[in-house]
């Protein structure tokens, strides 16, 4: 029982990442009707925002190491530590939360630039063309990152405050130690999801967007510039998946093709949840994340070897064969 | 190609011209520095792959993102025949293609229940699943990361055991080794299949089956309203193109007897999509041209490294030369994928019909211009 609960917990952070990417994909798909194969690249770019900020604030000078007296030794001391002392090291330690502040405007900018510069010209083109052009863009983005940061994963550390583990089972008398940062990630992803939903549900802007998703033409006839709102939505979706990638860096060291790995799975998540359904995307994200980590238990693997590698795809096939529209899919979406 | 003047005669000319061009490759590719067997084999194999892909994507309108899986299955099956039965390539190729066909029947049966984007994602997911399986659970069959290789200890029931101390026997076609004639035999072997594949694709395009496929692409709903069950046609197209891919995989294994899971990765599927698009979707020769261009460019670009570039720009002032060289070096050598991605985007944005459309446009402009000239 403990083991199962623990695996469910382990699935939550991965599920959170899937849910956030799938949420962004669905937002873009529901509003603009565009299938964005470059969405995984946005996730990766977000992660590299963290890497860049970390590099920037740990810019170091070589300083003579006084503790070594036998010979001349030098060590790297970040400028921030030299100037600000203790506060400096604290800032460096908290580089990931700090990079959140940087990543939001950066990802918004990248998202808007992508929409204005490229995606906008593909609204009326067939879905195949949209897939292909965004696939090309994803390759380009990831190769650029590779050219700058190399091909090796770059490990990032969470702030000391969140390191270590918490015992979640203490309250119910069980032993469930769980890495703190994964818990933070889960709470963070729930927070973002709640924010996106309440933005769509409780603001005028969100209301217009929802109306546009339901019937674009009528909204336009009412004299609302829906295209402009939709490109903002694209920007928001870019921010959501960028932040998902950024916060994921302490769990998985970012490398240039992490986006592609997540993208394929997120598409499966979207299909399982039902194309165009936001709650479906979130539910399917967590569901598949948890199922994946349950399948990687040794007890399960003994019965079905290799099930952890394919469980997500198996579920996707079964869902599509039994409920072709996905778990919460709406009628008439993508059924040309 | 889409002109109204398609007659059996023009098809025959096209076919004969194509055959001639392919067979003469070792001669006319010489000035391009591409006339060596390894590269020409790639042209032929990937040309075949792209022709098959075009039958599904170009004619039927279903964009599959998982076709590389069939290449992998074909390769694995072929190498197993080499290991267990004989080093003669013919049984291996027949068996490999059949296995790929059966595999594509299963995949197609599942994926074709959905259309459009769902179909693309499903094929992508299934191919990725096969890739993961080849790396993990199926390691006894696929040898996982090392890839499936021949060894002297294999049974080879028909060939008999290898004498002690002798190396692994080479793959052969009834005694003629693939590497014979300075490697040209391997090329002509692949070229034979390319030409046969091309002929079949002409016949399919001109048949009523072909127009049925194009009808599905144009308006599937209308096809169904006329009382047709489109499923068998789609499935047949999927299996045919899967078998083409399988055959391409078999040929890969025949000229170089090993098989690895990386052939099944989804970027490999993306590459064949690019070949087809670059050449011209739905045209007959386009995919082959696209495949040749991509493989040629890959060969040229990935061979260039920074020192070559510095030499190339040495006529410029020093700092400027190094600067340009370092910028350009992002796009060549290991950065070749960046060029590939850019090419992908540029073709989709500006030339959705690919090279064939470009040729058509130029022809039309030239033609219209000359008519205008004569009118003056």
Radius of gyration of chain B (CA): 22
Q: How far is A261 from chain B (nearest CA, A)?
A: 10
Query: Has residue B56 been placed in a domain?
Result: yes
- The contact set of A with B (CB < 8 A) is 35, 118, 121, 125, 127-129, 131-133, 135-140, 143-144, 146-147, 260, 264, 267-268, 270-271, 275, 305-306, 309-310, 312-314, 316-317, 320-321, 324, 334-336
Do B149 and B93 lie in a common domain?
Answer: yes
Q: What is the pLDDT of residue B372?
A: 52
CATH code of residue A31: 1.10.3470
> Do B124 and B36 share a structural domain?
yes
Condensed to tens digits (0 to 9), the pLDDT of residues B362-372 reads 888 877 665 55
Q: B202 to chain A nearest CA, in Å?
A: 24
Residue B17 falls within a domain, yes or no?
yes
> Is residue B208 assigned to a domain?
yes
Give the domain range for residue A162: 2-56+97-322
Taking alpha carbons only, the member of A122, A336, A129 closest to residue B63 is A129
**Count of domains observed in chain A:** 1
The range of the structural domain enclosing residue B104 comes to: 8-279
Dihedral angle of Cα A241, A244, A248, A254, to the nearest 10 degrees: 20
Question: Does residue B245 sit in the same domain as residue B318?
Answer: no
List the single best residue of A128, A272, A314, A320 to mutate versus B (max B Cβ within 10 A).
Answer: A128
User: 10 Å Cβ neighbour count for A122?
Assistant: 21
Interface-testing mutation among B61, B331, B335, B349, with chain A (most A C-beta atoms within 10 A): B349
Does any domain span residue A90? no
Tell me, yes or no, whether A66 lies in a domain.
no
Report yes or no on A202 lying in a domain: yes
Mutate to test the interface with B, among A134, A150, A309 (most CBs of B within 10 A): A309
Give the domain-ending residue among B279, B294, B325. Answer: B279
C-alpha count within 13 angstroms, C-beta hemisphere, residue A152: 3
Residue B121 forms contact with A (CB below 8 Å): yes
Q: Does the pLDDT at position A191 exceed 90?
A: yes
User: Chain B residues with CB inside 8 Å of A128's CB?
Assistant: 57, 61, 63, 120
DSSP-derived letter for residue B222 is: H
Lowest mean pLDDT among B85-89, B202-206, B211-215: B85-89
Contact A47, A254 (CB under 8 A): yes
Asked if the Cβ–Cβ distance from B117 to A334 is below 8 Å, we say: yes
The 10 Å Cβ neighbour count of residue B311 is: 11
The tens digit of pLDDT for each residue in A147-180 reads: 888 888 888 877 777 777 777 666 666 667 778 8
Cβ separation A271–B118 shorter than 8 A: yes
What is the distance in angstroms between the Cα of A324 and the nearest Cα belonging to chain B? 8
State whether A137 and B132 contact (CB < 8 Å).
Answer: no
Do B155 and B214 fall within a single domain? yes
Q: Give the range among A10-14, B224-228, B310-314, B349-353 with minimum mean pLDDT.
A: B310-314
Three-state secondary-structure class, residue A325: coil
Contact A43, A258 (CB under 8 A): yes
Question: What would the mean pLDDT of A305-313 be, rounded to a whole number?
Answer: 78
B254 and B337 inside one domain: no
B128 and B254 housed in the same domain: yes
Q: Please check whether residues B270 and B325 belong to one and the same domain.
A: no
Q: Tokens in use for B59? A: 């004619």
Please tell me the distance from the alpha carbon of residue B194 to that of residue B248, in angstroms, as a whole number.
9
Tell me whether residues A324 and B114 touch, CB distance under 8 A. yes
User: Which candidate from B132, B136, B344 shows the least CB-CB separation from A135?
Assistant: B344
Do the Cβ atoms of B125 and A136 come within 8 Å?
no
**The model's pTM:** 0.83
How many independent structural domains does chain B possess? Answer: 2
| Residue B63 sits in the same domain as residue B117 | yes
* Domain annotation covers residue B2: no
Nearest-angstrom CA–CA distance, A168 and B374:
87
> Cβ–Cβ of B132/A309 closer than 8 Å?
yes
The answer to whether the Cβ–Cβ distance between A321 and B113 falls below 8 Å is: yes
CB pairs under 8 A between A and B: 116
Interface of B with A in 128-147 (CB under 8 A): 128-129, 132-133, 135-138
Phi, psi angle pair for B176, to nearest 5°: -85, 120
Query: Over the stretch B294-345, which tens digit does the pLDDT of each residue have?
Result: 888 888 777 777 667 767 776 777 777 777 777 777 777 677 788 888 888 8
Contact status of B110 with chain A (Cβ, < 8 Å): yes
Same domain, B254 and B354: no
Q: Do A127 and B133 touch (CB under 8 A)?
A: no
- Is residue B258 included in any domain, yes or no? yes
pLDDT of residue A172: 67
Please give the share of chain B, as a percent, with pLDDT higher than 90: 11
Q: How far is B309 from chain A (nearest CA, A)?
A: 17
Q: Which two tokens stand for residue B329?
A: 């070096």
Query: Do both B271 and B124 map to the same domain?
Result: yes
Q: Please indicate whether, in this complex, the C-beta atoms of B345 and A317 are within 8 angstroms of each other.
A: no
Q: How confident is the model at residue A330 (pLDDT cuts 50, 70, 90)?
A: low
Span of A61-65, B65-69, B104-108, B207-211 with lowest mean pLDDT: A61-65
Tokens found for residue A185: 């990630």
Cβ within 8 Å, pair B133-A309? yes
- DSSP states along A111-138: HHHHHHHTGGGGSSS-HHHHHHHHHHHH
Predicted confidence (pLDDT) per residue in A37-88, tens digit = 888 899 999 999 988 888 888 777 777 777 766 777 777 777 777 777 777 7
Express each pLDDT in B216-271 by its tens digit. Answer: 888 888 888 888 888 899 999 999 999 999 999 998 888 887 777 788 877 788 88
If you measure CA to CA, which chain B residue comes closest to A271?
B118
Where a domain ends, among B279, B294, B316?
B279
Say if the Cβ atoms of B338 and A264 lie within 8 Å.
Answer: no
Q: In A, which residues are within 8 Å of B129 by CB distance?
A: 309-310, 313-314
The helix (H) or strand (E) run that includes residue B204 is helix B184-206
The span from the CA of A139 to the CA of A41, in Å, is 8
ipTM greater than 0.85: no
């Amino acid at each position: 029982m403990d083991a199962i609960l623990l695996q469910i917990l382990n699935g939550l952070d991965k599920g959170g990442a899937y849910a956030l990417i799938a949420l962004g994909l669905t937002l873009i798909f529901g509003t603009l009707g565009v299938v964005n194969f470059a969405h995984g690249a946005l996730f990766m770019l977000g992660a590299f925002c963290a890497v860049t900020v970390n590099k920037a604030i740990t810019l170091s000078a070589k300083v003579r190491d006084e503790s070594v007296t036998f010979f001349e030794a030098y060590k790297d001391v970040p400028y921030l530590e030299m100037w600000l002392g203790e506060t400096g090291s604290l800032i460096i330690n908290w580089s990931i939360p700090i990079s959140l502040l940087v990543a939001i405007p950066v990802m918004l900018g990248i998202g808007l630039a992508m929409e204005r510069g490229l995606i906008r010209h593909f609204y009326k083109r067939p879905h195949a063309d949209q897939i292909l052009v965004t696939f090309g863009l994803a390759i380009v983005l990831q190769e650029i990152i590779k050219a700058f940061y190399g091909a090796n994963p770059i490990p990032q550390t969470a702030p000391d405050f969140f390191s270590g583990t918490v015992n979640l089972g203490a309250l119910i008398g069980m032993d469930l130690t769980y890495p703190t940062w994964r818990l933070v990630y889960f709470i963070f992803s729930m927070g973002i999801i709640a924010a996106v939903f309440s933005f769509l549900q409780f603001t005028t802007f969100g209301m217009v967007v929802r109306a546009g998703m339901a019937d674009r033409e009528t909204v336009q006839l009412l004299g609302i510039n829906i295209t402009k709102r939709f490109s903002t939505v694209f920007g928001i979706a870019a921010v959501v998946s960028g932040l998902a990638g950024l916060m994921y860096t302490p769990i998985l060291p970012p490398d240039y093709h992490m986006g592609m790995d997540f993208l394929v799975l997120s598409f499966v998540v979207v299909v399982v949840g039902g194309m165009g359904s936001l709650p479906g995307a979130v539910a399917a994200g967590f569901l598949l994340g948890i199922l994946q980590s349950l399948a990687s238990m040794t007890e399960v693997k003994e019965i079905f070897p290799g099930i952890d590698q394919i469980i997500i795809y198996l579920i996707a096939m079964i869902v599509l064969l039994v409920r072709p529209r996905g778990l919460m899919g709406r009628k008439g979406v993508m059924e040309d | 190609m889409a002109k109204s003047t398609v007659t059996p005669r023009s098809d025959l000319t096209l076919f004969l011209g194509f055959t001639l061009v392919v067979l003469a490759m070792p001669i006319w590719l010489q000035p391009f520095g591409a006339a060596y067997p390894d590269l020409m084999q790639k042209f032929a194999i990937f040309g075949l792959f792209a022709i098959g892909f075009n039958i599904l994507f170009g004619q039927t309108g279903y964009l599959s993102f998982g076709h590389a899986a069939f290449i992998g299955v074909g390769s694995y099956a072929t190498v197993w025949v080499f290991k267990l039965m004989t080093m003669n390539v013919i049984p291996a190729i027949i068996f490999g293609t059949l296995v790929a066909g059966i595999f594509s029947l299963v995949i197609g049966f599942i994926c074709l229940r959905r259309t459009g984007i769902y179909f693309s994602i499903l094929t992508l997911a299934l191919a990725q699943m096969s890739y993961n399986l080849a790396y993990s659970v199926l390691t006894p069959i696929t040898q996982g990361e090392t890839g499936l290789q021949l060894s002297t200890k294999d049974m080879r029931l028909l060939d008999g055991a290898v004498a002690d101390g002798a190396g692994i026997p080479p793959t052969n076609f009834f005694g003629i080794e693939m590497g014979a004639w300075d490697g040209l035999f391997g090329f002509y072997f692949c070229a034979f299949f390319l030409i046969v594949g091309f002929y079949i694709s002409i016949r399919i395009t001109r048949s009523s089956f072909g127009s049925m496929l194009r009808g599905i692409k144009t308006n599937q709903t209308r096809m169904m309203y006329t009382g047709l069950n489109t499923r068998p046609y789609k499935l047949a197209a999927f299996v045919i193109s899967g078998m083409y891919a399988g055959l391409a995989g078999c040929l890969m294994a025949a000229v170089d007897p090993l098989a690895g899971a990386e052939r099944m990765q989804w970027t490999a599927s993306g590459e064949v999509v690019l070949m087809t698009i670059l050449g011209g979707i739905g045209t007959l020769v386009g995919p082959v041209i696209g495949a040749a261009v991509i493989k040629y460019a890959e060969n040229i670009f990935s061979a260039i490294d920074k020192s070559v570039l510095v030499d190339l720009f040495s006529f410029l002032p020093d700092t400027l030369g190094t600067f340009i060289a370092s910028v350009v070096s992002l796009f060549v050598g290991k950065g070749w994928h960046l060029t590939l991605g850019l090419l992908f985007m540029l073709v989709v944005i500006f030339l959705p019909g690919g090279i064939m459309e470009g040729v058509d446009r130029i022809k039309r402009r030239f033609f219209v211009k000359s008519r205008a000239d004569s009118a003056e």
